[in-house]
Amino acid sequence: MNWRRGLHDGLAIGLGYLSVSFSFGIMAVNSGLSWWQAILISLTNLTSAGQVAGVGIMSASGGLIEMAVTQFIINLRYSLMGISLSQKTDDSMTLPKRLIGSFFITDEIFGVACMSDKVTFGYLTGLAVLPVAGWTTGTALGAVLGNILPSIVTNSLAIGIYGMFAAIVLPVCRRSKIIAVSCGISVMLALIFRYVPFLNEHVSSGFAIIICAVAAALAGVFMTPPDTEQQGGQVNG
């Protein structure tokens, strides 16, 4: 039952990934990779920003250390998400299950999973099926079909993933003033990293997200009155 509920909850993510990874497939082939290499990257990494950066390094024949450091920084947010998600698991999530389940931690899977009180292995893997299928299929379609579809269609599909993020965040902001203010701070910091000249050239997008999110969450902790610190937990529950 849990697995099927996860499967259902993963549908929106899967559809979103199908369109986002389509653009990745096109980009990878344009960077000199073959179609099967593009698919192999999506299948083994399951991450958007990291893959785009990784393909850039590959096409420049970059070094192995450069690749490791870049992936580490861009994907460091998954570590934070993993810790956050671990708080919703219990002893039924054994070490082997954690080692398998952690592969599926992406921004979107995490975002949907953290709406549940309790995250089981069944739910997490069920939730991951359609996103993995969508991510891999979309990459294959983009790599093989290339630019056959007009860009107006693919570009309009790419925004859907952000709509989904809004659908996760905004209802929670309505219920918790502290989370609403924290998210506002996070967006303001993101605007600074996007538009301030020196910062937008020298801070990678993955690293900027970590700085924004951590600073804003710390501000939220600072705003939380000592006797209502459970509020965040209730909001999630």
**Shortest Å distance, C-beta 21 to another protein:** 14
Contact at 8 Å (CB) between 115 and 165?
A: no
When binding is defined by CB under 8 A, the residue of 4, 103, 177, 199 that contacts another protein is 103
When binding is defined by CB under 8 A, the residue of 4, 72, 118, 177 that contacts another protein is 72
**Shortest Å distance, C-beta 27 to another protein:** 13
| 149 binds another protein, rule: CB under 8 A | no
Contact at 8 Å (CB) between 48 and 149?
A: no
Contact at 8 Å (CB) between 143 and 29?
A: yes
Cα–Cα nearest to 142, from 236, 51, 7: 51
- Give whichever of 140 and 189 is closer to another protein, judged by the CB atom: 189
Measured CA to CA, the distance from residue 90 to residue 216 in angstroms comes to: 28
Helix (H, G, I), strand (E, B) or coil at 141: helix
Measured CA to CA, the distance from residue 191 to residue 10 in angstroms comes to: 30
| 146 binds another protein, rule: CB under 8 A | no
| 196 binds another protein, rule: CB under 8 A | no
**Shortest Å distance, C-beta 146 to another protein:** 16
When binding is defined by CB under 8 A, the residue of 52, 144, 172, 203 that contacts another protein is 172
When binding is defined by CB under 8 A, the residue of 34, 118, 146, 196 that contacts another protein is 34
Tell me, by CB under 8 A, how many residues bind another protein.
Answer: 108
Q: Which range, of 128-136, 141-149, 170-178, touches another protein by CB under 8 A?
A: 170-178
**Shortest Å distance, C-beta 2 to another protein:** 18
Residue 197 token pair: 């000249």
| 145 binds another protein, rule: CB under 8 A | no
| 220 binds another protein, rule: CB under 8 A | yes
Q: Which range, of 130-138, 139-147, 218-226, touches another protein by CB under 8 A?
A: 218-226
Question: Which residues from 113-142 bind another protein, rule CB under 8 A?
Answer: 114
When binding is defined by CB under 8 A, the residue of 56, 147, 151, 199 that contacts another protein is 151
Residue 51 token pair: 């893959």
Packing angle of the helix pair 177-195, 160-175 (nearest 10 deg): 140
When binding is defined by CB under 8 A, the residue of 173, 203, 204, 207 that contacts another protein is 173
Query: DSSP H helical segments within the chain, as ranges?
Result: 2-9, 11-30, 35-45, 48-59, 64-75, 77-86, 95-101, 107-113, 121-145, 151-158, 160-175, 177-195, 197-202, 205-223, 231-236
